[in-house]
Amino acid sequence: MSNASPRWHNLFPDLDFDPDALRERYRQERDKRLRDDGENQYLEAAENFAHYADEDPYTAQTPREAIKRDVNVVVVGGGFSGLMAAARLKERGVEDVLLIEAGGDFGGTWYWNRYPGAQCDIESYCYLPLLEETGYMPKEKYSFAPEIFEHTRRVGEYFGLYELALFQTRVKDAAWQEDRKRWRLTTDRGDVLDARFLIQATGPANRPKLPQIPGIDRFKGHSFHTARWDYEYTGGDHQGNLHKLADKRVGIIGTGATAIQCIPFLGRHAKDLYVFQRTPSSVDLRGNSQTDPEWYAGLKPGWQRDRRENFAAVLAGQNFTVDLVADGWTDIARRIGLSLMNRRSDAGNLDMEEISLRSEVADFQKMNEIRARVDAEVSKAEAAEALKPWYRQFCKRPTFNDDFLATFNRDNVHLIDVSASKGVDGITEKGVLANGEEIELDCLIFATGFEITTSAHRRVDFDTRGRNGQSLYDHWGEGFRTLHGLSSHGFPNWFTIGINQNGLSPNMTAMFDDQAVHVSYIIDEVQRRGATTIEVDAEAEKAWVEEIVRLAGGGNAEFLEACTPGYYNREGQVGKGVSMQNSPYAPGINAFNELLARWREAGTLEGMTLATEPNA
Ligand code: NDP
């Protein structure tokens, strides 16, 4: 403790580590990885690389005739966000809803991500929506991908959405027709669909992304992205048994939340596995458990909403009496957010600097535990050192897995630390260049994530053109412009369900559901009031954007700036360009939902204008 600054020393006389030294270590590790090209280091999975994203390895394409139809509502996207939108509309009695989905079934993320070990790290009782409505009991506290995919199908069946869906269909263009007050959509199957209302629910992680590594197009071996797992090549299924890899040298680039889950399976089955790691994940205990049917049967009606709200309250550092979920996520939040709660209960007694130092110390302690876990699990000293994350807990998505770390004790598993060169150096016909060496491979797997914070247009296959043919993406050129993240001026009868300028939660399905409830309310109101169109007012949109920017300007920007690069801080570009404007609603999802509920209760559709055209 002798090196600690006096402020630390006075506040925490008993610390067994030096917080200044840790701060400095975190800064060095961030600087080592910062790249001038930021998000431009990634390559769009398009043109020569389109097969990494567009090919569907799971369902053969079924030929069908092109369709020409006029419908009430088109929902683009059949993942949880689109499903929830359609379900909530049906619940309200809004009829004639059509869903368009690129995959061969519902599921979205859970249709595409079938890699071995895929699992949701959010508790299933919170994550799987409509459990009370559908009467389904999740098998485990943390569901694996097949069960989640099945649940999307269950929701589809329960709400009769299969009859309303066009699968294996991608929208090519959506344009507002002012004369008819309808959206016209065209698709890659030759369909022409006219709709009174359009809801875009294409999901935040629907486009796999690739690193722009020199030579990436040269590799002659087999290659795929984790979101299009090639079981034809690897053998086996979600539970493993990747028997066809027994004589293969396999490389995997990336060690994020996806890689953490599939690497144990690759390690078990590949002849040799080379893991190219730029930044280690924080890997905490998983500790999954079977659902107790007695406990489940005893839950009182309304339990799921209460549980989701409780989870969100704990994560946001709001007051709560009991932590219902009590898992890794809430443990982190309770410990690191403790100072915030103290501030509320002990207002006036703590200054802002003290609050932030307390939170930082709790974070250091948590991350010390994560690093100690690496030492306890990994016997090879060099690998253990490289697997330790040196950044604050919420700089990257925390991960939870009980098999990942021990995988590096296997003789056939080789950890290649590429942090010094800010990533893999190159790809050749035969393999990967890293740290001055060429590692020959039969198969190269990209666990390099998704386009989550790149430009909105890049993440959606099609253009959306509103009044006067204006592109949505031009309207959003300087950053998102919406009311509540859900609709924009110049785009009548248009809505989106997503992650920008609204209440954000790692429990994505809950936030999508809350947005779906709100959007379905608005559409229902338009119909009930006998109107033809509804549109966000320019002033209301401007005011919401200003509110988002104002609220985002606090300590969060500073926190992200100090983080190791990743998509949470736009690869280290936070604070630059549009990132403040594209922030979520900083007070959190519960506060956002309360705001939306008050808006609905007022019944005035404030900030939106209704119009009635008798002949439209
Ligand atoms: P991520 O974006 O989190 O990870 C991408 C990985 O690729 C990182 O380790 C990154 O390193 C690495 N990488 C990128 N470029 C290079 C390069 N040039 N050289 C070496 N390494 C490189 O993607 P994931 O698919 O893992 O996760 C994406 C998101 O999907 C998660 O954050 C989460 O939201 C969601 N997810 C959720 C799960 C759940 O349980 N609910 C499970 C899995 C995913 P670096 O960190 O240095 O950039």
| 587 band by pLDDT with thresholds 50, 70 and 90 | confident
Average pLDDT over residues 29-58: 89
Asked if pLDDT for residue 321 goes beyond 60, the answer is: yes
Q: What is the average pLDDT value for the chain, to the nearest integer?
A: 92
With 0-12 / 13-18 / 19 or more C-beta atoms within 10 angstroms meaning exposed / middle / buried, residue 459 is buried
Is residue 37 within 8 Å of 454, Cβ to Cβ? no
Q: Is 78 in the pocket of ligand 1 (CB under 6 A)?
A: no
SS3 567: helix
How much is the pLDDT for 339?
42
Note the pLDDT tens digit of each residue in 217-262: 999 999 999 999 999 999 999 999 999 999 999 999 999 999 999 9
Asked if pLDDT for residue 148 goes beyond 90, the answer is: yes
Vertex 27: Cα angle to 25 and 32 (nearest 5): 95
Residues 6+ apart with CB under 8 A from 454: 39, 42, 209
Higher confidence at residue 574 or residue 108? 108
How much is the pLDDT for 345?
44
How much is the pLDDT for 43?
87
How much is the pLDDT for 2?
44
Average pLDDT over residues 5-11: 81
Strand pairing partners for 525?
none
Phi-psi region of 22 (alpha: psi -120 to 50; beta: other; left: phi over 0): alpha
How much is the pLDDT for 300?
97
| 169 band by pLDDT with thresholds 50, 70 and 90 | very high
Is residue 274 within 8 Å of 418, Cβ to Cβ? no
Q: Is 121 in the pocket of ligand 1 (CB under 6 A)?
A: yes
Residue whose CA is at the smallest distance from ligand 1 atom 17: 423
607 vs 543: CA distance, rounded Å: 10
Ligand 1 centroid to 396 CA: how many Å? 9
How much is the pLDDT for 341?
45
How much is the pLDDT for 290?
98
Average pLDDT over residues 436-442: 97
Record the tokens describing residue 466, joined without a space.
Answer: 């509103």
Note the pLDDT tens digit of each residue in 117-130: 999 999 999 999 99
Residue whose CA is at the smallest distance from ligand 1 atom 6: 254
SS3 414: strand
Q: Which of 108, 149, 104, 115 is nearest to 226 (CA)?
A: 115
22 vs 332: CA distance, rounded Å: 19
Asked if pLDDT for residue 1 goes beyond 50, the answer is: no
Which of 109, 119, 120, 253 for mutating ligand 1's site (highest number of atoms within 8 Å of CB)? 253
Q: Is 71 in the pocket of ligand 1 (CB under 6 A)?
A: no
Note the pLDDT tens digit of each residue in 68-123: 999 999 999 999 999 999 999 999 999 999 999 999 999 999 999 999 999 999 99
Q: Which of 575, 572, 555 is nearest to 563 (CA)?
A: 572
432 vs 437: CA distance, rounded Å: 8
Which superfamily does CATH assign the domain made up of 68-207+452-611 to?
FAD/NAD(P)-binding domain (3.50.50.60)
Record the tokens describing residue 333, joined without a space.
Answer: 């939040």
Which of 52, 141, 258, 401 for mutating ligand 1's site (highest number of atoms within 8 Å of CB)? 258
| 342 band by pLDDT with thresholds 50, 70 and 90 | very low
How much is the pLDDT for 578?
63
Record the tokens describing residue 464, joined without a space.
Answer: 């959306």
Average pLDDT over residues 36-45: 88
78 vs 156: CA distance, rounded Å: 9
Asked if pLDDT for residue 198 goes beyond 60, the answer is: yes
Query: Looking at 10-24, 293-307, 347-361, which range is the least confident one?
Result: 347-361
Average pLDDT over residues 435-458: 89
| 408 band by pLDDT with thresholds 50, 70 and 90 | very high
522 vs 607: CA distance, rounded Å: 12
- For 211, 236, 409, the CA distances from 249, given in Å and listed in that order, are 21, 17, 17
Query: Looking at 234-243, 292-301, 402-411, 454-463, which range is the least confident one?
Result: 454-463
**DSSP secondary structure of 277-303:** ESS---EE-----B--HHHHHTPPTTH
Asked if pLDDT for residue 457 goes beyond 80, the answer is: no
Ligand 1 centroid to 254 CA: how many Å? 6
The percentage of the chain sitting over the pLDDT mark of 70, rounded to a whole number, equals: 96
Q: Is 279 in the pocket of ligand 1 (CB under 6 A)?
A: yes
Residue whose CA is at the smallest distance from ligand 1 atom 24: 449
494 vs 608: CA distance, rounded Å: 12
How much is the pLDDT for 575?
61
Would you say the C-alpha torsion 605, 606, 608, 609 has a positive or negative sign?
Answer: positive
Ligand 1 centroid to 257 CA: how many Å? 6
Q: Is 445 in the pocket of ligand 1 (CB under 6 A)?
A: no
How much is the pLDDT for 577?
57
250 vs 273: CA distance, rounded Å: 5
How much is the pLDDT for 3?
53
The percentage of the chain sitting over the pLDDT mark of 90, rounded to a whole number, equals: 78
How much is the pLDDT for 576?
59
Q: Is 260 in the pocket of ligand 1 (CB under 6 A)?
A: no
| 347 band by pLDDT with thresholds 50, 70 and 90 | very low
| 150 band by pLDDT with thresholds 50, 70 and 90 | very high
Atom of ligand 1 nearest to the CA of 279: 47
Average pLDDT over residues 421-428: 95
Residues 6+ apart with CB under 8 A from 137: 131, 291, 293, 296
DSSP letter at 199?
Answer: E
Is residue 109 within 8 Å of 77, Cβ to Cβ? no
How much is the pLDDT for 343?
43
Parse the chain into domains and list their residue ranges.
68-207+452-611
